[in-house]
Structure 1
Amino acid sequence: MYKLWACIIKDIKLITRDWVGLSLMFIMPILLVIVITALQVGTFELVNENKVPLLIQNNDNDLISLELENTLEKIGIFRIIELDKKTSKETIAEKMKETEALVAILIPENFSTQVQHKVADFTKNTLQEFGLELEKPNQNNDLLVNELTLYYHPVLQESYRKNLLNAIRSAVQVVESKQIISTIYSSINETAMPDSILNNFETQQVHINEIPVSRDGSEVIPNAAQHNVPAWTIFAMFFIITSLGSSVVKEKNSGSSLRLKTLPTNFLITIFSKQITYLLVAMSQVFVIFSTGVFLFPFLGLPALNIPTDIVGLILVSLISGWCAVSYAIAVGVFSETQEQANGFGAISVVILAAFGGILVPKFAMPESFAFFLKISPMHWSLESYYGLFLEGGKFSDIINNVIPLLLIIILFQLIAYIGLKKNNLI
């Protein structure tokens, strides 16, 4: 026990002198979690609170095109900016840069007239199907409505662009539906439809209640901090490899193992001491990063991290995740010949594991062909365990199916490290 304690003290002293390793293990993840959370919150506010500037060049300026503009404004996500009818395509691009608008719409001439003709033709054919003989339907198959033109900034991501496009299409459908209802009413009653009916059409819509599914029955909507803080804490724990991996290589190459063979001790004690020391470092990372989410985030205008009710489960998941990160670093360090190999391979492999594990890329965004790589990434099981506590409000017993694979991966890493130590005659 004394030998183990002496090795732990030695490793702690070595860590405190490794300023680069400490910055990678603490400062980098704190900055990452702040920046990523701020970006997600900013994107959420952009979509839900701040209105997106939308340039509109209305070359029609008739009833239906003006109604379309009004409907787009009522959606609540657009801030309408009118352009002059004589604005050219090049000028639209310049205006988008000046106003920082991401999208612009060109409404063609005679848009309202063509929509009215299309709706009238559709209404006549529909009423005829019900046996109502009205005027002869327009049989002109070439009756088409000039297309709306959408200009968008190239920096706009495809998913976000499609969301905006769907919102615009919804507005067009609302305008067309109102026009169809009005035309049918006028055709049957031979009088204009009262405004009260149109108002009811707008207000009496089906509302959708959003309820998050949780294990504890709570309906608290998880915020960006609940998603990001656990994820980047796991990433930070696995980045221990930059310090621990090179430390193991240094112990091997410095001849410490040979000197230990002349003493009544074993190199395994050095390995155990490093595991204990760096597991304490991992738990320190958890404490520091979680404290950042709880106390610092509100001062930065970010949503605070809500700690799960199962504190014991949170500690156990953190310990197991930290132990897995330490085991991986030990295994890499044992098989690396130089510190450069340990640092290079370790850093690259951690980023790859993070990508496959759902930290850099969300699990739902991955193709099915990546399912195998997702399952073998220890970060995936760590993240699922944390999410079971933070997002689903579960207890440790609810996430045991995620913890068991993590324990099996730990055993695998420990076995690999043991084989490497035996192969190199270090034990």
Structure 2
Amino acid sequence: MIYKLWMSVVKEFLLLKRDLGGLIILFVMPLVLVITVTLIQDSTFKTVSDSKIEILLVNNDNGSVAKTVYDNLQKSNLFTVVTQINNIPLTEAVAKEAVYKGKYQLAIVIPENLSKDLQAKIDQNVQKIVSSIGSTDTVTHTETPKIINQKEVKLYFDPAVQMTFKNAVMNSIDKMISQIETHSIYTAFQEQLGEGSASFEQKSFITFKEIVPRVNNKEVLPNSTQHNVPAWTLFAMFFIVIPLSINIVKEKTQGTFVRLLTNPVSNRVVMLGKTITYSVICMIQFYMMVAVAVFLFPEIGLPPLNIEGHLFLMSIVALFSGFAAIGFGILLGTVAKTQEQSAPFGATSVIILAAIGGVWVPVFAMPKIMQIIAKSSPMNWGLNAFYDVLLRNASFLEIIPEISLLFLFFIITTTIALAYDKKKRAV
């Protein structure tokens, strides 16, 4: 039994050896993919946090509020304010055209009389409050308050800008304007209450602080590497579905599988040989990806992958993820009749599993129906298990549900493949 299994494994390696180019692609392409994607995402992160983005500011107000907005934007680590193009002061039409053509990502248009009208509106409200508590003459009640229309600060975004960037900028601007209004309100109250009144503390009473998880008294800070390496490792592993299914189809079309069955070797031994062979390939892929993330990433300016205390559990997750990929490949190769069926369907199905599994878009950002569907993807199970180990410091017991699902997927797909093959041969 052991000898038969060993020879089955040797047969699989010989088949792979004949397609040396395909084997190299199987190892090299995932490395290129993970390096490229991580570089892109890390560069994007640095662009948002470290580099300044040029934004256009059209100041139609020229008052204290506009000056405060300008000063706050200039002090920000995110923006560089542009008020002129070719030494010509900006107008709303020019700024709008520049943004919509993609030359700038954002334009802010401050309306006329914003400072004046804001102060007048605040004075009205403060006067009304102070009058209601009897601090002013009752004569003011007879005066008809001037109607002051609501002001609009316009934001023009480049149509190619992502929604996350829009939301971040709008929240930042909204917070800035709110602080300006609060400051003006406090100042108006101080003026109404007289010189002897105590000054108001105008700092925000409620603040926010992110509590970062710690391991061994060190902060665990998620980065682009920790998110990309597990995701694209899974993607690479599942792409072995293509060569595995093609080899099974080749064996059927070339008559190799029939000759194997004439020998005293069961189909289970043949499938087990394929499982062992491709499990080795999956683990080599995994360790190559980890090695690149640990040793090469720091050399090209990317954060290294911290595998301290995690490598063993990560290896277990990778092994069971490989089992799931192999089971899917065996099923596809058994059901497909030609290589033209197995290769395109294998590639497409892997991309679909990756898309709904959270490899490209986080599951929490998907619509509710897609979040439910995502739970059926083996890539999602493997990705969650990797994140549990790397980011949530999970123990072996805590990842048992995910690896159990992955192994169950392998058992079910392999069983279906064996049953289908047995039924087909019996007909």
Say yes or no: TM over 0.5.
Answer: yes
Counterpart for residue 19 of structure 2 = 18
Change (3 A) 1:356 1:130: farther
* CA–CA separation in structure 2 for the residues paired with 1:335 and 1:45: 47
Shift of 1:271: 2.0
Tell me if 1:171 matches 2:176. Answer: yes
* CA–CA separation in structure 1 for the residues paired with 2:140 and 2:33: 67
Counterpart for residue 116 of structure 1 = 119
Counterpart for residue 419 of structure 2 = 419
Shift of 1:71: 2.3
Counterpart for residue 152 of structure 2 = 147
Contact 1:96 1:103 (8 Å CA) reproduced: yes
The residue type paired with residue 136 of structure 1 is: T
Counterpart for residue 78 of structure 1 = 79
Q: Which runs of 5+ in 1 are unaligned?
A: none
RMSD: 2.7
Contact 1:308 1:390 (8 Å CA) reproduced: no
Shift of 1:177: 1.0
Contact 1:185 1:191 (8 Å CA) reproduced: no
1:227-306 to 2 correspondences below 5 Å: 227-306=227-306
* Larger displacement relative to structure 2 (32-41 or 61-70): 32-41
Q: Deviations over 1:300-359 (max 9, x none)?
A: 111100115143322221111111111111111100011111111111111111111111
Q: Which runs of 5+ in 2 are unaligned?
A: none
Q: Deviations over 1:72-107 (max 9, x none)?
A: 333432211123785344422465589943101111
Taking only the aligned residue pairs, the percentage that are identical comes to: 34
1:120-139 to 2 correspondences below 5 Å: 120-133=123-136, 136=140, 139=144
Counterpart for residue 326 of structure 2 = 326
Please give the secondary structure, in 2, of the residue aligned with 1:105: strand
Counterpart for residue 401 of structure 1 = 401
Q: Deviations over 1:170-210 (max 9, x none)?
A: 1111111111111111111158998xx6xx635x6644331
* Larger displacement relative to structure 2 (297-306 or 114-123): 114-123
Shift of 1:217: 7.8
Contact 1:248 1:334 (8 Å CA) reproduced: yes
Counterpart for residue 47 of structure 1 = 48
* CA–CA separation in structure 2 for the residues paired with 1:19 and 1:101: 48
* Larger displacement relative to structure 2 (261-270 or 302-311): 261-270
* Larger displacement relative to structure 2 (62-71 or 239-248): 62-71
Q: TM-score, normalised by structure 1?
A: 0.90
The residue type paired with residue 253 of structure 1 is: T
Please give the secondary structure, in 2, of the residue aligned with 1:26: helix
Counterpart for residue 65 of structure 2 = 64
Shift of 1:23: 5.0
Q: Deviations over 1:257-310 (max 9, x none)?
A: 222233232343332221111110000000111111111111111110011514
Change (3 A) 1:331 1:129: farther
* CA–CA separation in structure 2 for the residues paired with 1:421 and 1:147: 69
* CA–CA separation in structure 2 for the residues paired with 1:38 and 1:128: 62
1:350-369 to 2 correspondences below 5 Å: 350-369=350-369
Contact 1:57 1:82 (8 Å CA) reproduced: yes
Tell me if 1:315 matches 2:315. Answer: yes
* Larger displacement relative to structure 2 (304-313 or 342-351): 304-313
Shift of 1:218: 5.6
* CA–CA separation in structure 2 for the residues paired with 1:18 and 1:211: 51
Q: Deviations over 1:120-173 (max 9, x none)?
A: 122222333444336737754741143222111111112211211111111111
* Larger displacement relative to structure 2 (32-41 or 294-303): 32-41
Where does structure 1 differ by over 4 angstroms across 4 or more consecutive aligned residues? Answer: 93-100, 137-141, 190-194, 204-207, 213-218
* CA–CA separation in structure 2 for the residues paired with 1:15 and 1:125: 84
Q: TM-score, normalised by structure 2?
A: 0.90
The residue type paired with residue 162 of structure 2 is: Q
Counterpart for residue 4 of structure 2 = 3
Change (3 A) 1:255 1:73: same
